[in-house]
A and B are shown apart, each in its own frame.
Chain A
């Protein structure tokens, strides 16, 4: 009487013919080929290295934008000021339905744009008497008074923008802006001189050693300087920028699927879209939604051998007939 047991035939030892193979030789040849290919590509094409942007560069090439961004930091109208966790409580962060992981994780890397980007750097270096007086006036004022000055001046500055958004600071209307114009001018001068780059860096709690550039990145991203760089280099997210590289070099092409979702209109609402519209809402949550979509797809890829239907695709679309054409020819013969 024969007994039965569960056996997977594809796991059984191969009983057919064999061919000669040298794993060590194959590995050595592959290593030499790849090393030579790398040397050839590196020698012919080199690699990209666009010099890091600086606050001095920003304040020199676009002083009005730097000035206006500084005012925005004091008024709390910049992206950083309204970001929310993990930097501050200025916003709620991104929600997907009732789930708001951003808020749930809390403020882990505190950033107070007005203080960290403007007041503390100005206070930590030698300033003109006018700036010293302005700093004192700002610090002595109530939070409401600070907000009233900064918001009024921010509005006045933004009101000078032409149709293309270019500011003309000579057209700012007179008003009660307290010390805000002096502080913004002082920070712009400080950045133009190059002093601001170092002062902001030295704010690290550890003092001497600095390995965290959160404040620098956030402040620089609030203005147009970094954004213009991204546009010129074709790096914007809605133009497949996630997988692009500066210049004409190949970028992270392996992120094509992640980048793909950002191209869909449903995740790419125009700036003037109705905030209540579905597209605007989905676009507002795009960063989280796309991450979750990619996370789900990744799990499916990992578990693909166990997913009925998907695991059978290679049987239905017989590309394997090409890969093993010699084998299939031999068994037909």
Chain B
């Protein structure tokens, strides 16, 4: 009985439990000053850095306006001025999202931002761009207007030609709608979260040639004395 009592009053050693191991790892990989930084290396001082956060801000506006559109259904915006306004907000925030994202992508390319074990940051960024393309595409397919009729008719040929059309039927409004409002945004959101966490974990890439013997590739390493 005493032993039982003791076993409940003695705190488990760190890392003894799944929860403890996870917590320890999260704190180790992403300590609070990395996760929510209030300082940056002095080289982080260009306007190009703004486009990453602008992309995320646009994504939030896209999601928020999209959620409003879901409240009244896909054909609401045809018959309601309010609905049409929210459709316009959704439309323009998507345009802004892609403008910001593409500028961000080009910026990171010219900074060779994959250096210093940041390859996965680059990869998640590119993958989020690709999944965003698919998400926008399904949005265009589910407009339920003449434009979506045209895009559906044209797009089916490209997807059918490579066999994808047999499984992803662009002429099925139900399938494209569910992909657009559920599956694909979820994937985009998860990848973007992962991307941001990787940015926070690895930090902002230093200037090219800031270090001697700096390798060109993400995977290369240099021999240095320690």
Contact = CB atoms under 8 A, between A and B. Distances in A.
A, B assembled together: yes
Given A217-B152, A253-B98, A311 B39 contact: no
B45 A45 contact: no
B149 A14 contact: no
Contacts of B102: 254
B153 A217 contact: yes
Interface in B143-177: 143-150, 152-154, 156-163, 165-167, 169, 171-175, 177
A52 B111 contact: no
Interface string A90-117: 0001100000011011101100000000
A314 to B, nearest CB: 4
A290 interface: yes
Nearest to B144: A52
Interface stretch (B6-14, B49-57, B183-191): B49-57
Interface stretch (A23-31, A69-77, A157-165, A266-274): A23-31
A315 B94 CA distance: 32
B186 to A, nearest CB: 20
Contact of B161 (A52, A242, A291): A291
How many interface residues does chain A have, given as a range? 35 or more
Contacts of B122: 304-305
A82 interface: no
Given A212-B172, A246-B147, A220 B161 contact: no
Q: Which 3 A-B pairs have the closest CB atoms?
A: A211-B174, A10-B116, A101-B163
A322 B214 CA distance: 20
Contacts of B115: 8, 10-11
B213 interface: yes
9 contacts: A6-B223, A7-B224, A13-B203, A34-B96, A39-B89, A45-B88, A49-B147, A229-B150, A254-B102
B84 A49 contact: yes
Contacts of A214: 169, 171-172
B166 A86 contact: yes
B214 A9 contact: yes
Contacts of B218: 305-306, 311
Interface of B: 36-46, 48, 50, 53-54, 56-58, 60-61, 65, 77-78, 84-85, 87-93, 95-96, 98, 102, 107, 109-112, 114-119, 122-123, 126-127, 130, 133, 136-137, 140, 143-150, 152-154, 156-163, 165-167, 169, 171-175, 177, 202-203, 205-226
Given A30-B54, A252-B136, A311-B112, A49 B87 contact: yes
B173 to A, nearest CB: 5
A302 to B, nearest CB: 5
Interface in A232-250: 233, 235, 237, 241-242, 245-246, 249-250
From DSSP, what is the main secondary structure of chain A's interface residues? Answer: helix
Nearest to B124: A302
Contacts of A213: 152, 171-173
Contacts of A30: 50, 53-54, 56-57
B111 A320 contact: yes
Contacts of A86: 160, 165-166, 169
A332 interface: no
A144 interface: no
B112 to A, nearest CB: 4
A16 interface: yes
Given A217-B152, A245-B147, A18 B41 contact: yes
A218 interface: yes
Given A30-B56, A52-B146, A250-B95, A105 B214 contact: no
B60 A31 contact: yes
Contact of A226 (B153, B212, B217): B153
A137 B211 CA distance: 85
Contact of B203 (A14, A109, A291): A14
Nearest to B122: A305
A287 B164 CA distance: 12
Q: Which of B57, B114, B218 has the most chain A CB within a 10 Å cutoff?
A: B57
Given A213-B173, A217-B152, A319-B110, A306 B119 contact: yes
A47 B166 contact: no
